């Protein structure tokens, strides 16, 4: 009878397992009791020829026997795997905690960049970017640099070897200001953007100068009268206070940039000594941060806007300086040195 035969298979299957000691033995067992051509499988397939009453009894029995054998097989397989290596003989303590995998972390400059972006985006600014290899047009011409401006010459700019067929001269951008024009060509005011990015200058390096460094450009433009120097001062003070976690005051000094009019250098109250005077601020109470100004109408024109229609401010500063102030780092070159003894402190 079929019922008896199924019970028998279940029994011999179970009883023959303990004698198996190898994976190969277990595999042979699997073929015999659970394989496609096993007796149990053949019996299960022939169920369809039985009468409904017989099916009711034999069907569930066949299935539960199969499930039981599968469970036995799994347990046995696990046991064999565990025992396949004699851990004790190998001198391995399998209960010891695992070795920690070092996953690394972000460079302090990148951490600072993310922090700056968070503060600006919370003020409604959008992060924009542009190419690191820029055309002379965006890096200089559109920003109202006169043709013979000294910063175009070989002293500051790494020019890319000219290609005779190219219409334009290319250079690793010397600042992020060119992105102002690129962005304005594609967008109409009101607009608020920040542009974090790498810039390159042909400078001798020392404790506060790198030939490759990170700048932050900030641009806010709206119709005439909406964005003034006071707006700039407010946005800058709000940003620096959030960044340093204390009240920071911004001071403007007259300066010159071809792409802003009027132009300023701006300082922040010294966050090291609370503006009382210390070695870092050379006892002035102020720290130099960057350049800024009201966007020159010629830059608007280069971007395709009508003269006199819009007004806005732009400013740029080096990110490394902020990182150095926040973490009290004495030498800018450490940031890009790849020296793990330095990097691991952050």
Near ligand PHE by CB under 6 A: residue from 191, 291, 312, 323: 291
Instruction: Answer for the pair 29, 12: CB distance below 8 angstroms, yes or no.
Output: no
Of 225, 241, 213, 244, the residue nearest 316 (C-alpha): 213
Near ligand PHE by CB under 6 A: residue from 65, 177, 269, 296: 177
Near ligand PHE by CB under 6 A: residue from 232, 286, 300, 315: 315
- Rounded to an integer, what distance in angstroms lies between the CA atom of residue 264 and that of residue 245? 25
* CB of 314 vs ligand PHE, minimal distance in Å: 4
Is 314 near ligand PHE (CB under 6 A)?
Answer: yes
Positions in 193-222 near ligand PHE (CB under 6 A): 217
Say if residue 190 is preceded by a cis peptide, omega within 30 of 0.
Answer: yes
Tokens matching residue 103: 């996953």
Near ligand PHE by CB under 6 A: residue from 29, 182, 316, 329: 316
> Which region, judged by CB under 6 A, interacts with ligand PHE, from 77-85, 146-154, 287-295, 323-331?
287-295
* CB of 177 vs ligand PHE, minimal distance in Å: 4
Instruction: Answer for the pair 114, 151: CB distance below 8 angstroms, yes or no.
Output: no
> Which region, judged by CB under 6 A, interacts with ligand PHE, from 8-16, 85-93, 223-231, 288-296?
288-296
Q: What is the DSSP string of 55-101?
A: HHHHHHHHHHHHHHHHHHHHHHHHHHHHHTS-HHHHT--TTSPPPPP
Of 176, 185, 168, the residue nearest 139 (C-alpha): 176
- Using the minimum distance from each CB to ligand PHE, give the nearer residue, 120 or 315: 315
Is 33 near ligand PHE (CB under 6 A)?
Answer: no
Q: Which residues bind ligand PHE (CB under 6 A)?
A: 175, 177, 217, 257, 260, 290-293, 314-316
């Amino acid at each position: 009878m079929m019922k008896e035969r199924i019970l028998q298979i279940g029994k011999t299957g179970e009883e023959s397992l303990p004698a198996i000691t190898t994976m190969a033995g277990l595999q042979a067992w699997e073929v015999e009791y659970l394989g496609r051509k096993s007796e149990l499988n053949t019996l299960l397939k022939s169920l369809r020829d039985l009468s409904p009453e017989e099916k009711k009894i034999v069907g569930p029995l066949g299935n539960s026997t199969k499930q039981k054998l599968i469970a036995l097989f799994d347990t046995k397989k696990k046991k064999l795997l565990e025992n396949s290596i004699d851990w004790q003989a190998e001198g391995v303590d399998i209960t010891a905690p695992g070795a920690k995998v070092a996953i690394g972390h972000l460079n302090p400059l990148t951490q600072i960049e993310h922090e700056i972006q968070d503060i600006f985006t919370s003020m409604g600014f959008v992060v924009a970017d542009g190419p690191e290899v820029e055309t002379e047009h965006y890096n200089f011409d559109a920003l109202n640099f006169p043709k013979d401006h000294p910063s175009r010459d070989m002293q500051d700019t790494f020019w890319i070897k000219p290609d005779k067929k190219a219409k334009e001269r290319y250079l690793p951008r010397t600042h992020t200001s060119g992105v102002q024009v690129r962005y304005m060509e594609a967008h109409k005011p009101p607009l608020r953007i920040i542009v974090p990015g790498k810039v390159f200058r042909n400078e001798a390096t020392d404790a506060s100068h790198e030939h490759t460094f990170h700048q932050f450009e900030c641009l806010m433009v709206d119709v005439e009268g909406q964005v003034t120097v006071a707006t700039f001062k407010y946005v800058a003070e709000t940003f620096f206070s959030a960044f340093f976690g204390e009240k920071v005051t911004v001071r403007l000094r007259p300066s010159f940039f071809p792409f802003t009019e009027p132009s300023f250098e701006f300082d922040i109250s010294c966050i090291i000594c609370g503006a009382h005077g210390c070695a870092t601020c050379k006892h002035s109470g102020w720290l130099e941060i960057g350049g800024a100004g009201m966007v020159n109408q010629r830059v608007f024109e280069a971007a395709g806007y009508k003269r006199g229609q819009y007004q806005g401010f732009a400013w740029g500063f080096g990110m490394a300086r902020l990182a150095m102030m926040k973490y009290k780092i004495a030498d800018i070159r450490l940031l890009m040195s790849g020296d793990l003894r330095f990097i691991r402190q952050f």
